[in-house]
A and B are shown apart, each in its own frame.
Chain A
Amino acid sequence: GAVVSQHPSRVICKSGTSVKIECRSLDFQATTMFWYRQFPKQSLMLMATSNEGSKATYEQGVEKDKFLINHASLTLSTLTVTSAHPEDSSFYICSARGTENQPQHFGDGTRLSIL
Chain B
Amino acid sequence: RKEVEQDPGPFNVPEGATVAFNCTYSNSASQSFFWYRQDCRKEPKLLMSVYSSGNEDGRFTAQLNRASQYISLLIRDSKLSDSATYLCVVRLTGANNLFFGTGTRLTVIP
Contacts and interface: CB of A to CB of B under 8 A. Distances in A.
Interface in B8-60: 34, 41-46, 49
Classify chain B: how many residues form its interface, as a range.
10 to 19
Given A43-B87, A43-B102, A106 B45 contact: yes
Contacts of A41: 102
Contacts of B46: 103-105
B97 interface: yes
A46 B41 contact: no
A103 B43 CA distance: 15
B101 A43 contact: yes
A107 B87 CA distance: 16
A45 B96 CA distance: 14
A93 B44 CA distance: 9
